[in-house]
Structure 1
Amino acid sequence: MNKLLRGSHAVELEPEDENEEPSPAGMLAARAKRARKKAGLSYRALAEKLGYPHTYLSRVESGDQLPSAALAETMDAFYETDELFSDLAAVARSMAAETPKWGHKVLEEEKRAARIQTFNSSVVPGLLQLEPYTTALYVESMPGKDSENIALQVAKRAHRREVLDSAKPPFYWAIMDEAALRRPVGGPATMAEQIRHILHMAETNSAVQIQVLPFARGVHPLLGGSLSLLTLRDGTTFAYVESFASGVSIETPADVLELTTLLDIARSKALCGGESVALLNMYLKEYEDDAK
């Protein structure tokens, strides 16, 4: 059971599923349901007291819809929860607004996946990124965004990394183009720290497999984009393809098979584990020397 501290009080929060980390939207839905049951009210009885349709309240408790700011404020007043629902709703709306709609599915399923296979052609794969690297990446790739928005994106990426440190992490197979190592995101010191982290993950986490596809291997079928294949615990697999400012989730078996073949070809051109580690260490030394 998670707790949200508010002043001197600790409010218990129920996750959406006991095996997952709760999201603000999931916390809100679980807390709303628990508060109504504790008050001994049906949806219709609660609707009469709050002045909102019982169907609306049901959707809020099921997690299908976030409450409006007005409803969240009304719930806080009725349940005497000291702006808990208002705060959770605001955070949930902010996260939803900052996540492109094409990325929602991969974020939802990532923590439930049994296996994640990913290829990145230009940057370090997201689940391997450290905060200084992610910050530098977002500062350059999100022109016009203020520091608060960038900090939110960095925090979300950091939270996603926790899936690899969970009790039952997915098998994570990451392939990156050598361009991701050559491009000095954030400068030499940031890159050195980032590469040390990748090496540490490869050496200490048995669920993580890392390969580098070097320039010397020439053209491959995934130039210029990124591809992730997520296999869920029921055996189903979907693909997520992302490019400059768009992305799409693909579930049609024939299309997933085609993309799996492309990833297999790219993997066949990549260095083996030991060779990849050697190349990573070469770049690490270069960045460490440049940072002196």
Structure 2
Amino acid sequence: MELEPEADAMPATPAGMLASRVARARSRSGLSLRALAEKLGYPHTYLSRVERGEQVPSPALADALDDFHGTDGLIAELLVVAMAAEVPTWGRRVLDEERRAARIQTFNSSVVPGLLQTEAYTSALFRESMPGKDSEKVALRVGTRSHRRAVLDSATPPLYWAIMDEAALRRPVGGPAVMAEQIRQILNTAETNSAVQVQVLPFARGVHPLLGGSLSLLTLRDGLTFAYVESFASGVSVDAPADVLELTTLLDIARSKALDSGESASLLHRYLKEYEG
């Protein structure tokens, strides 16, 4: 028997209202989850998770639901509100500006850079790093990061230069299968998207000035560059030219110690074989 989500039991949050709206729209159409899934061309399990608030819909699914139910863009608008509400205040500027950036340079010392993460990797990462948070909040954070990846697939993507410490590859987030999928995703993106450059800073190169942190430099299309420094539970945007120059120097030093793109690909393939094995 197909279980129906209890739309009225959803919490009064943007995410809860989104899930309730999706469930009510289907209920009014008189369709089962499987019937709606067949008409839209999406797995019924995916629609079920959306209606239960366990996963946010993709922008494409939100548009498809609006078109099918004739809700005049309401579901897509609720999706934007739900995701924006969950982004920490310190990270909202990056979320807004990276869609308009001409170049994004980023360094991560302990995890795979966000725009390169697979959904399974992000989900495993947030489940472990958000203790005490309910599934709705975790789903929203995963969905927000998943939607951010569309920046690299746009018609005019920014130049994305990602550097990661080898620790990000050594740490098995989600287990071997998740890591293998994640590394394949990095390799495929670097090989097929000319706007993406990936470098790995190996343990053998020793100490570098960005140990234990995350730094992004975003250059907008008008030439303005600002920095974003993030720790485990906070972040700050940096605009002062002298401070941006200092952080750019630190990133340049880390980049100078990293492997070039070909050497980085070789190291990624070695880790891939290890996780597949």
What interval of TM-score do these two structures reach, taking the shorter chain for normalisation? Answer: 0.7 to 0.9
Residue deviations 1:199-225, cap 9 Å, x none?
Answer: 001111000000000000000000001
Unpaired stretches in structure 1, ≥5 consecutive residues: 14-83
Per-residue deviation at 1:97?
A: 3.2
Q: Using a 3 Å threshold, how does the CA distance of structure 1 residues 243 and 90 change in structure 2: closer, same or farther?
A: same
Q: What is the Cα-based RMSD across aligned positions, in Å? A: 1.8
For 1:230 and 1:211, locate their aligned partners in 2 and report how far apart those are by CA, in whole Å: 18
**Preserved contact between residue 120 and residue 225 of structure 1 (Cα < 8 Å):** yes
Q: Does 1:190 align with 2:182?
A: no
Q: Contact (CA 8 Å) 1:4, 1:11: kept in 2 or not?
A: no
TM-score (ref. length: structure 2): 0.74
Corresponding residue pairs, total: 216
Which structure would you say has the larger RCO, counting Cα contacts within 8 Å and 6 or more residues apart?
2
The aligned counterpart of 1:269 is 257
* One-letter amino acid of the structure 2 residue matched with residue 111 of structure 1: R
- In structure 2, the partner of 1:223 is 211
Q: In the alignment, residue 155 of structure 1 is paired with which amino acid? A: G
Structure 1 residues 144 and 113: alpha-carbon distance in aligned structure 2, compared to 1, 3 A threshold: same
Report what 1:156 is aligned to.
144
Cα distance between partner residues in 2 of 1:261 and 1:127: 23
Residues in 2 aligned to 1:199 and 1:5: alpha-carbon distance in whole angstroms: 33
1:163 CA displacement: 0.4
- CA distance in 1 between partners of 2:135 and 2:161 (Å): 32
Q: Deviations over 1:77-123 (max 9, x none)?
A: xxxxxxx4xx6776555333311110010000000000000000000
Distance 1:88 1:271, change over 3 A: closer
Question: 2:112 — aligned with what?
Answer: 124
Cα drift, residue 7 of structure 1: 7.6
Cα pair distance change 1:113/1:189, threshold 3 Å: same
Q: What TM-score does the superposition give when structure 1 sets the normalisation length?
A: 0.71
Aligned match of 2:242 in 254, 273, 290?
Answer: 254
Query: Structure 1's 220 and 10: CA in aligned 2 closer, same or farther, altered over 3 A?
Result: same
Q: Corresponding residue for 1:115? A: 103
Q: Which amino acid aligns with 2:195?
A: A
Cα distance in 1 for partners of 2:68, 2:179 equals 41
Note if contact 2:66-2:72 (Cα within 8 Å) is conserved in structure 1: no
| Structure 1 CA distance for aligned equivalents of residues 81 and 146 of structure 2 | 19
- Matched residue SS, 2:276: helix
Which structure would you say has the larger Rg? 1
| Dislocated runs of 4+, deviation >6 Å | none
**Which residue in 2 is equivalent to 1:177?**
165
Distance 1:193 1:140 in 2: 19
> Aligned letter for 1:282?
R
Structure 1 residue 145: deviation in Å? 1.1
